[in-house]
Structure 1
Amino acid sequence: MNQSMFIVWRESVEALLVIGILQAWVSQQNQGNCLARYLWAGVVLGLMLSGLLAVLILFAGEAMSGSASEWFQAALALVASLLIVQMVGWMHRHGRTLKHDLRQHADSHLSQQGGLGLLLLAMLAISREGSETVVFLYGAGAQLRGPQLGLFAVGGVSGLVLAALTVALLHSSRRFISWQRFFAISEALLLLLGAALLVSGTERIGGQLLALDLPEIVYSGVGEALWDSSAWLSDSRGLGGLLAGFTGYRATPSGMTLLVWVGYWLAVGGWLRQRAMGKVPCAA
């Protein structure tokens, strides 16, 4: 539930920000009412494209069974983790100029293609956010069933409500939190979630490797736990469960899981250090 709520909240805030920028731009143009119809038509089409992607992913997942399904879900979890890191890099590169860039693109599309250009711009922007949300949610919730899946869905709906409240708060007052601080905090949480999705995908791959005829050292690295800390911090409930969902914490990690988790943070830490020193603009 916490994962789905955060994913939908973060992506919806970004989508609402894009819509708000384009709506403000439209209100300053001649024939604003006409352009607004193109804008909202683009938003609807973008949501429809995201919905189509969700249907295709769900259909593919249902059509597969056994090992193929496990590999597919593992691949989606790994793709979701990669997309999260890419998205954080993209926001670092474009976040400060997002408003200016969107207005510039809108001017260009309007001059070249008229209202259809604005429709296309809105459709692409919203479908991008929606597609990321679909992949993230599938990667995080593919293994859930029954009541857990219901809670996951409730979390997604709650994320939509929180996104609307967040945007309203950020627009009405910056005394509590600015857009810059909001994105900084949410990006940190996204990187934590990226680690959790990477661990989830790695464990699914590990489960499939255990079923293959491989050298004994592989089974030791994939299947044997290095330690067991569940007695003082279980990864299935309470604080440990929250850490498992948001950071990839495991009470009984295998060697492969630990190696992947450490490698992820070394890579992300190196990128953050380079960005702080001003050597690279982004990691995207």
Structure 2
Amino acid sequence: MLSHLRAWRERGWTPIDAAEYADAWQRFGGSVATHPQVVERLAGLAGIAVRYLGWFTDGGLQAAMPTWGRHLALSKDVLKQHDKRGLFDLGNAEIILPMAATAQAPVRHRARYLSSLNATQVLGLREQPEGLALAREPEQYSKKFRYNQRREQRLLEEAGGLVRPMLELSAAEQAVIYADLFQRRWGFEATGKAHLAEVFSLMRDFMTGSLIYLNDQPVAIQVLYRVEAPQWVSLEYINGGVDPQNREFSPGSVLSFINTQTAWTEARALDKPLRYSFGRADREYKDRWCNRVPVYQV
């Protein structure tokens, strides 16, 4: 029965190896959640083997995807099935499958938050009720908004605030600070708290952004992962933490301004569009920073 269902799901697709998948991603592009090394490292941490599939047309590979059973790889549902719920956190990451611009292929594996970039390539998609929040370009913010953000940053720095790159810290230091500030902000533990240092170490090659200190104490942090595809830059804002006792200086808002502005500057230096995802468009603060865009599911 299982082999019959798999044959139905994979109809038209062919098993490929990890190197072929990586080659497809480097040619066609993808997102953080489909990057070959992100998939390999996090699947390795989970101890769940990845089955890579390719779609061939006239003998040439036109599309590829990493799978866990009937789901795309790194699925939260599969982690739950293996009693590894919350082992790592990718938020509600945008899924961009590596597909040639002219490719059209059916996907029968379960997936959510499939990008609008794949909307004309993947057959059988349904638009999700909720959208995805993608950061606006700097020019799309009002002059007043930009003025206020710069003013808040100046006041914070005058009060002793200091901006530090995340990569100045070790994975263990990042984990301690993130777990503490997340708990302070939300009142419950961060997803995968026990494995944060290990996950941050595995993801260090993709980590970007800064954190903020005030009087030598960390007061705001954001977990950001970034990959560069041939045609665009994909950046995922996974989650963050902030010390609510310093609300008067709006360190969380200041950090969002710094991180988004830096990411846009870097992407434009590469002459590539930026897909800076805040995940699901489900909170009012995201509307301040983002445009809502459609996403799809299978």
- TM-score, length-scaled by structure 2: 0.24
Bigger helix share = 1
Q: Which has the higher contact order (CA 8 A, sep 6+)?
A: 1
* Larger-Rg structure: 1
